[in-house]
Structure 1
Amino acid sequence: MSSAATRFAELHQGDTPLLLPNAWDHASALALARQGFEAVGTTSLGVAAAAGLPDGAAATRDLTLRLARRLGSGSFLLSVDAEDGFGQDPDEVAVLARELADAGAVGINLEDGLGPVGPHAAKIAAVKAAVPGLFVNARTDTYWLGDGGHAETCRRLDAYAQAGADGVFVPGLSDPARIADLVKSFDVPLNVLYSPLGPTFPQLGDLGVRRVSLGSLLYRRALGAALDTARDVRAGRPVRGGAPDYAEVQALSDGRGDI
């Protein structure tokens, strides 16, 4: 296992959870890294929407790999949201995982999309066999797409952990009691998706969550800020909020300066 991969795994074992912000392009990733985030993830929604493609439809495999190759040599640790692996063949998903690791990624997200447990577990096992040092964060969509059944969530997470997942991810879960129960039920780190309506980051840490992802939140907030700015200008109102200037953004592309 590389030193970067080892460090990424260690970030899931500290007293404070890993707060993983999710970028959608080169500038957003570097801007986050320069704010002191040691690890940065990608958001499949942001990558897809920025290219005019649907999320969760296996439409962005090449874009995701291209972005990983652009970001993988950065000074930060990179985790890639790979949807369901962009395919159903475990061997093909393992090939993608190898390509992402070769690009510099130290982690990968694989979501089950609430499909059958067995095939998703097979993908996880294939990835771990092909790239043992790659941190596999296995996501179940029982809360995101299903009815949030606790027994089904545990059944799926157990199968994924048994297949070799290094962490488990349950987006849409925000109930503190259920979060605490999942923490106690599994030896691998639990990842949840931050919700402005759910527990705060410190509260999630107190519950035992080891990783908190921001998912598409930053991308959606950026779109919201753009719309607010355009509406403010049109209405003759002062523009709200702050923004980096031209030179600061340019510096993200040529390696100069901070933001």
Structure 2
Amino acid sequence: MTKIQEFNALHATQDILLLGNTWDLLSALTLERVGFKAIGTTSWGIANSLGFPDGEYIDFARHLAIIKTIVENVNIPVSADIEAGYGTDTQTILDNVLRTAEVGVAGINIEDSLKQQNGLRAINEHCALLVQMRTMLDNNGYQDFFINARTDTYFQLDQPFSETMTRAQAYVDSGASGVFIPGLAKHEEIRAITSAIEKPINVMSVPGLTNCQTLQQLGVKRFSFGNALSDKIISYLTKDATRIIEAKDTAFLYE
């Protein structure tokens, strides 16, 4: 079974797929070692680790090199967060998707947020991109490559539910393998979307939305925590480093 097939199979079991989010090789190896069945990179975490804000400020080749290093050193499927594709034109985005597939990932997150301006890409434009993406991947030997179409409606709109439902169905009809809806948190809205959309729905951990069993009952097939773990580790590092410099004593490191 290829990694693409293995990754797809993880979305088809009765259990929810708890996807561990990593930002460097150490975090990836750690999550694999403790038992995660698949991992996804977090663009936020990668950007932070290199001293950049999130939002495609890193050179794509540098970003891809980190993803490639992770893929080459773990034995579980990896999904790559490539934000909106690191390009302002369709061909550049398609080229970057293919370059990402070629390093051995099993899937990608591709979002509908615009990076050079506020707002979302028009539905018809994003659907056309997804159609071309699927065709390109199929024609290059990456059949069933997992395209997780992320929509940022809950980050961008005041009343996002109806637009989210419309976009989710349109993205699936255009070749997406699943739909990622960060910010979606109300149980009744989650259930409505998972009931209406036949492909796997991915939600992201936020305060009050943390339990896999609850999400599984709501029909969610994939659950990820984004940059929450990397942020927690940075906070821990900052707190302990501050303690060292203030106390001029490292004894607590060995407690």
TM-score for the superposition, normalised by structure 1:
0.86
1:174 counterpart (185, 191, 194): 185
| Displacement after TM superposition at 1:108 (Å) | 0.2
**Distance in 2 of aligned mates of 1:155 and 1:10:** 26
Conserved 8 A contact 2:112-2:151? yes
Conserved 8 A contact 2:3-2:76? no
**Distance in 2 of aligned mates of 1:81 and 1:166:** 15
Q: How does 1:186-197 map to 2 (within 5 A)?
A: 186-197=197-208
Q: How does 1:5-84 map to 2 (within 5 A)?
A: 5-57=4-56, 59-73=58-72, 74-84=74-84
User: For residues 67-92 of structure 1, what are the alpha-carbon distances to aligned partners after superposition, in whole Å with 9 as ceiling and x for unaligned?
Assistant: 12212222121100000011133332
> CA-atom RMSD, angstroms?
2.0
| Displacement after TM superposition at 1:154 (Å) | 0.9
Structure 1 unaligned residues grouped into runs of 5+: 243-259
Evaluate the alpha carbon distance shift between residue 224 and residue 184 of structure 1 in structure 2; reply closer, same or farther with a 3 A threshold.
same
**Distance in 2 of aligned mates of 1:207 and 1:239:** 44
TM-score for the superposition, normalised by structure 2:
0.88
Structure 2 unaligned residues grouped into runs of 5+: 114-119, 138-142
Conserved 8 A contact 1:154-1:182? yes
Q: Report whether the alignment pairs 1:89 with 2:89.
A: yes
Matched residue SS, 1:71: helix
| Displacement after TM superposition at 1:93 (Å) | 1.8
| Displacement after TM superposition at 1:60 (Å) | 4.1
Q: Report whether the alignment pairs 1:119 with 2:125.
A: yes
1:145 counterpart (152, 156, 166): 156
| Displacement after TM superposition at 1:123 (Å) | 2.1
| Displacement after TM superposition at 1:192 (Å) | 0.1
Q: Report whether the alignment pairs 1:223 with 2:234.
A: yes
Evaluate the alpha carbon distance shift between residue 239 and residue 157 of structure 1 in structure 2; reply closer, same or farther with a 3 A threshold.
farther
Letter paired with 1:230: A
Q: Paired residue for 2:220?
A: 209
Matched residue SS, 1:75: coil
Letter paired with 1:85: G
Letter paired with 1:97: V
**Distance in 2 of aligned mates of 1:34 and 1:121:** 38
Letter paired with 2:134: K
How many positions carry a matched residue from both structures? 241
Conserved 8 A contact 1:79-1:106? yes
**Same amino acid, percent of matched pairs:** 34
